[in-house]
């Protein structure tokens, strides 16, 4: 009996050890088969310094906000580095001016400026900061730099009397009449009638012309032919008084991918010679505005040159996300 129990006990031990061995072997296989779980490396977003003005540091994200607003009008990817460099230079100038407002302890109403921005622009929250910066600078320059501008009467007269100033001399003008049609065949038919009966021009213009001035007997008033499209100009300058031009074809535009033309007949009834200087009283306001604009540009350039030479400005080009091309 004892012998049987001993055999049974030994058999149980062997079975148990065999089972444990298989379990260990299976665990080893499972360990080998199980893929390694790679830890995801999360790179921290950097926000490097791109500009330093005196002790003020400007970071990459600050420039990106400026870039986002000012790069909307550029689409040529091939010129990316050159375009971004141009915008970055504008950014440096703006930050110089903002730095100047802080140096001068310039006071302004932020609420009023934001209200002004929202009335001028349909801007989102991202745009507000940069638009506000621009508004602060404009307000500062207007109130501290441009407020000193005074244009004297003698300066206006001196500008007016310049021999080389053609801007305020009367240009050659013609009193022009027009008939505009959408049908080439009809235009040629009307032109054939007017070729022998030009005195009927106003009558036909009122009845047949598709132009907005048809009710004005087709009169465009006195105009400078040089301001007209090239295809019109050459006929109008050469046509004798009270005679009609040939039918002039003009590309009006495209509708559903198809080119649309209009057909024009012109008549000149009067010509005014150019060259005479316009009366001073007529152009005085225009000259004053011109001189104010010139003075503003002069003062602005002086301000930028002064800031560039007095402020400690460092551009960290290696931290820019594009190749900086400095303006020559």
Region 46-168+279-328: CATH code: 1.10.4030.10
One fold for both 46-168+279-328 and 173-272? no
Q: What is the pLDDT of residue 22?
A: 56
The mean per-residue pLDDT over the stretch 260-264 comes to 92
142, pLDDT greater than 90: yes
Domain map (residue ranges) of the chain: 46-168+279-328, 173-272
Measured distance CA(76)–CA(249) in Å, rounded: 35
Give 25's pLDDT tier (boundaries 50, 70, 90): low
143, pLDDT greater than 70: yes
Give tens-digit pLDDT for 188-246.
999 999 999 999 999 999 999 988 888 888 999 998 888 888 888 888 988 999 999 99
Q: What is the pLDDT of residue 266?
A: 94
Give 275's pLDDT tier (boundaries 50, 70, 90): confident
**111 Cβ contact partners less than 8 Å away, ≥ 6 residues apart:** none
320, pLDDT greater than 70: yes
Helix (H) or strand (E) run with residue 69 in it: helix 60-70
Domain at 173-272: CATH architecture: Roll (3.10)
Q: Is the pTM of this model over 0.85?
A: no
- Considering the chain, what percentage of its residues have pLDDT values greater than 70? 82
Which stretch of 250-254, 289-293, 294-298 has the lowest confidence by average pLDDT?
250-254
**221 Cβ contact partners less than 8 Å away, ≥ 6 residues apart:** 175, 176
The mean per-residue pLDDT over the stretch 140-156 comes to 94
Q: What is the pLDDT of residue 214?
A: 80
Q: What is the pLDDT of residue 118?
A: 79
Tokens of 53: 């003005």
Q: What is the mean pLDDT of the chain?
A: 84
Nearest to 327, CA basis, from 69, 28, 90, 73: 90
58, pLDDT greater than 60: yes
305, pLDDT greater than 80: yes
Measured distance CA(148)–CA(161) in Å, rounded: 25
Can you tell me whether residue 160 is helix, strand or coil? helix
DSSP structure string for 245-270: PPPEEEEEEEETTEEEEEEEEEEEEE
Q: What is the pLDDT of residue 113?
A: 87
The mean per-residue pLDDT over the stretch 89-98 comes to 96
Measured distance CA(86)–CA(327) in Å, rounded: 8
242 Rama sector, left if φ>0, alpha if ψ -120 to 50, beta otherwise: left
Give 185's pLDDT tier (boundaries 50, 70, 90): very high
**CA gyration radius, the chain:** 40
Q: What is the pLDDT of residue 102?
A: 94
Measured distance CA(256)–CA(298) in Å, rounded: 49
Nearest to 251, CA basis, from 230, 267, 268: 230
Q: What is the pLDDT of residue 28?
A: 56
Give 39's pLDDT tier (boundaries 50, 70, 90): low
Which stretch of 70-84, 196-210, 222-236, 268-282 has the lowest confidence by average pLDDT?
70-84
The mean per-residue pLDDT over the stretch 23-40 comes to 55
Give 40's pLDDT tier (boundaries 50, 70, 90): low
């Amino acid at each position: 009996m004892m012998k049987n129990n001993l055999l049974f006990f030994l058999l149980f031990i062997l079975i148990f050890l065999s089972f444990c061995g298989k379990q260990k072997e299976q665990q080893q296989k499972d360990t080998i088969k199980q893929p390694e779980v790679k830890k995801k490396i999360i790179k921290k977003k950097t926000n490097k310094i791109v500009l330093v003005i005196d002790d003020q540091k400007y970071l990459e994200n600050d420039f990106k906000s400026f870039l986002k607003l000012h790069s909307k009008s550029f689409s040529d990817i091939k010129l990316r580095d050159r375009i971004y460099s141009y915008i970055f230079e504008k950014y440096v100038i703006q930050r110089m001016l903002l730095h100047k407002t802080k140096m001068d302890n310039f006071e302004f109403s932020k609420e009023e400026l934001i209200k002004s921005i929202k009335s001028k622009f349909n801007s989102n929250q991202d745009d507000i900061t940069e638009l506000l910066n621009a508004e602060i600078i404009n307000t500062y320059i207007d109130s501290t730099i441009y407020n000193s501008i005074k244009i004297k009467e003698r300066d206006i007269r001196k500008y007016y009397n310049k021999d080389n100033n053609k801007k305020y001399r009367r240009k050659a003008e013609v009193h022009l009449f027009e008939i505009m049609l959408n049908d080439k065949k009809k235009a040629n038919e009307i032109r054939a009638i007017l070729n022998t009966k030009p005195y009927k021009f106003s009558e036909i213009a009122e009845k047949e012309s598709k132009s907005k001035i048809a009710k004005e007997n087709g009169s465009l008033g006195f105009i400078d032919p040089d301001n007209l499209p090239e295809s019109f100009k050459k006929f109008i300058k050469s046509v004798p008084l009270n005679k009609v031009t040939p039918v002039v074809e003009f590309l009006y535009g495209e509708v559903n991918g198809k080119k649309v033309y209009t057909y024009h007949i012109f008549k000149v009834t009067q010509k005014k010679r150019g060259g005479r200087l316009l009366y001073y009283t007529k152009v005085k306001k225009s000259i004053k505005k011109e001189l104010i604009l010139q003075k503003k540009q002069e003062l602005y350039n002086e301000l930028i040159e002064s800031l560039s030479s007095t402020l400690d400005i460092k551009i960290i080009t290696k931290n820019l996300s594009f190749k900086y091309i400095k303006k020559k």
